[in-house]
Chain A
Amino acid sequence: MKRVARYALLLLVLAITIGPFLWQLSTSLKGAGEDVYAPVFVPSDPTLANYAGVADAVPVWTFALNSLLVAVVNVVTNCVGASMAGYALARLRFRGRRLAALVFASGILVPFEVILISLFLVMRSFDLTNTLTAVVLPGAIGALNVLLMRNAFLALQPEVEEAAVIDGANAWQRFWRIAVPSARGTILVVALFSFMFSWDDFLWPLVVLSDPDKYTLTIGLAYLQGTFFQNQRLVAAGTIIAVAPLIVLFISLQKHFFRGVGEGAIKG
């Protein structure tokens, strides 16, 4: 009896969290002949025409490619850059280490919205506004990721590295052959969250991009909604295109997402 009540509650929460996505999916599959306003979840005659239609209305595949490009570059720069900096902070002894750590810590304290306008001016002084480079750069190596990697390297046993020192390995070899493989769990978390934040980012690309052919998916969708507001089927198809890759990624790697929330939340 108790168990039945628990499952009933679970199903209620499930309907609240997943229902809206399913409604959007259902709308995107309804053909022109079907009433999208009727509260019917299963399309009577499911069609993929709206997915072709959204590509006719806006260059949605260009948007998706731009988003993918930005996200992949962000993953690579964050994994490499944050691992390197985190390793130096955790494992190398040098004058100025505290100062370097302080720079990253203060980076975390500055909310993005606060520097939005002057960041735009920085990009303009580099002549980078309205480029995908400008979209990538501010988040290319996140200060939080550097501190996550530092903590991961601090948690490793130093003995293995000490043995490598005796064998004559230099700092770079120790980093690349010993430290990085041992910290790959955290690197995967950094990769996942870099991808997600970059793929989902809205405010910064909205401010820095102006040409529709440079748009990422998020602002492309806002643009689609602004232009084709009457056609709910097209907007729904666009949203499904934008969210599907992340859902696939999430389902296949959900354990690491949860781990990332735990690590990020405690430190953030």
Chain B
Amino acid sequence: MSVGHHRSYTPWLFLLPGLAVVITFSLVPFVNMLVLAFTNATALGGGRFTGFANFQRMLDDPKFWVALRNSSLYLVCIVPPLVVLPLLIALLVQKKLPGITFFRTAFFTPVIASAVVVGLIWTWLLDSQGLVNTVLRALGWVSRPVPFLTDEWLLLFSAMLVTVWKGLGYYMIIYLAALGNVPADLHEAAQVDGAGPIRRFFAVTVPALRPTMVLVAALSAVNGFRVFSEIYLLSGGSGGPGGADTSLVMLIQQTGTGLTGNVGYASALSLVLFVITLGLLLITLRLNRREEAL
């Protein structure tokens, strides 16, 4: 609904700052990235058109395959816990009990802390002499410290643990909003039919929340594939032993920055990152449409 009269340029004055920022610092760099991906530009500038040479190089680059594997594995491993656990927590805090606001607030705290704070907290907890290892040893479950931060695979899984831990509260709130929209009479009807809480969860709650679960899966998948901070911090910036835990975003950062930065190749890697994240979004949209059709 538009109201009133105004001079023809007035709307553009309102839009000018926003458009200037989004175009200069988002769209122009994006187009620039598309062009640079097909050149051999370096950090010092210049660069000639080299066709698909960067992509050719990627196919033979073991670092690229390791990074792609790590980012993909990250996505695959964090999505199921981030779809299920926050839903269970949301069910736990849904009922209005004394003190429930305190619990909701507390569960959300890891979301507001920065990835760096969270990364440093867990680096300390998972240290070879850290609290987790001390407790595991005191319980007699392990005899030697578990190398959470120095083993190639354990480091990757530790980073995933941190991502899941930090995301619980965020997706809990999304589920809480959706749970509020599940019709109460459905639950009552199921209860009258003699369905227990677990039965009702699968027969009423899960079907009603399916679109939200798809949304949570999509958000966590895209975020998981773009992982950077958690791996960077837990590995102290190195990307794990011999760089074995480098993610795709870490590889882009390492390749494209600094005086020896290979801007052309880093842009080609960025293009791959973009195509995959866009693909994930399109898959989600499709899944959602199929849900609506059912």
User: How many B residues have CB within 8 A of the partner chain?
Assistant: 94
For A17, give its contact among B12, B23, B107, B173 (CB under 8 Å). Answer: B107
Contacts of A111 in B (CB 8 A): 222, 226, 273-274, 277
Contacts of A201 in B (CB 8 A): 114
Asked whether B114 lies within 8 Å of A262 as measured between CB atoms, the reply is no
Asked if B113 and A81 sit within 8 Å, CB to CB, the answer is no
- A201 CA / B22 CA spacing, docked (Å): 18
Tell me, rounded to whole Å, the shortest Cβ–Cβ distance linking B72 to chain A: 15
- Across the interface, do B113 and A118 meet the contact criterion of CB distance under 8 Å? no
| A118 and B33 form a contact (CB under 8 A) | yes
Q: Closest residue of chain B to A7, judged by CB?
A: B97
Residue B138 at the A interface, CB < 8 A?
yes
Q: Is A54 an interface residue (CB 8 A)?
A: no
A116-B36 Cα distance, complex, nearest whole Å: 13
Kindly identify which residue among A27, A82, A92, A247 contacts B10, using a CB–CB cutoff of 8 Å. Answer: A92
User: Residues of A contacting B135 with CB < 8 Å?
Assistant: 39
Cβ-neighbour of A84 out of B14, B169, B273 (below 8 A): B14
What range describes how many residues of A lie at the interface? 35 or more
B75 within 8 A of A: no
Chain B residue, CB-CB nearest to A206:
B253
Residue among A20, A200, A203, A254 making CB contact with B125, cutoff 8 Å: A20
Q: How many Å lie between the Cα of A217 and that of B131 in the bound state?
A: 25
Given contacts A18-B109, A118-B32, A232-B124, contact A6 B22 (CB under 8 A): no
Q: Does B15 contact A (CB under 8 A)?
A: yes
User: Looking at the complex, which of B53-61, B115-123, B182-190, B202-210 is the stretch in contact with chain A?
Assistant: B115-123
Please determine whether B123 and A110 come into contact, CB atoms closer than 8 angstroms.
Answer: no
Give the dominant DSSP class at A's interface: helix
Chain B binder among A43-51, A93-101, A181-189: A93-101
Cβ distance A219 to chain B, nearest Cβ, rounded Å: 8
The answer to the question of A60 belonging to the interface, with a C-beta cut-off of 8 Å to chain B, is no
Q: How far is the CB of B95 from chain A (nearest CB, A)?
A: 7
Contact of B15 among A9, A84, A107, A165 (CB under 8 A): A84
| B78 proximal to A (CB < 8 A) | no
Is A57 on the interface with B (CB-CB < 8 A)?
A: no
> Nearest 3 CB-CB pairs, A to B?
A85-B18, A200-B114, A88-B14
**Which A residues have a C-beta under 8 Å from some C-beta of B?**
3, 6-7, 9-10, 13-14, 16-18, 20-21, 23-24, 27, 37-39, 77, 80-82, 84-85, 87-89, 91-94, 96-97, 100, 103-104, 106-107, 109-111, 113-122, 137-138, 140-141, 143, 146, 154, 158, 161-162, 164-165, 169-172, 174-175, 196, 199-203, 206-207, 217-219, 221-222, 225-226, 229, 232, 235-236, 238-239, 242-243, 246-247, 250-251, 254, 257-258, 261-262, 265, 268
Chosen A-B contacts, 5 in total, with CB atoms closer than 8 Å, are A119-B25, A119-B29, A172-B10, A202-B228, A236-B124
Beyond A169-B4, A202-B115, A262-B173, 16 additional pairs, beta carbon < 8 A: A16-B165, A39-B134, A93-B2, A100-B15, A104-B18, A110-B26, A114-B270, A120-B257, A146-B22, A200-B115, A203-B249, A222-B116, A232-B127, A243-B113, A243-B114, A265-B219
Contact surface of B with A, Cβ cutoff 8 Å? 1-6, 8, 10-12, 14-15, 17-19, 21-30, 32-33, 36, 89, 92-93, 95, 97, 103-110, 112-117, 120-125, 127, 129-131, 134-135, 138, 165, 168-170, 173-174, 176-177, 215, 219, 222, 226, 228-229, 232-233, 236-237, 249, 252-253, 256-257, 261, 263, 266-267, 270-271, 273-274, 277-278, 281
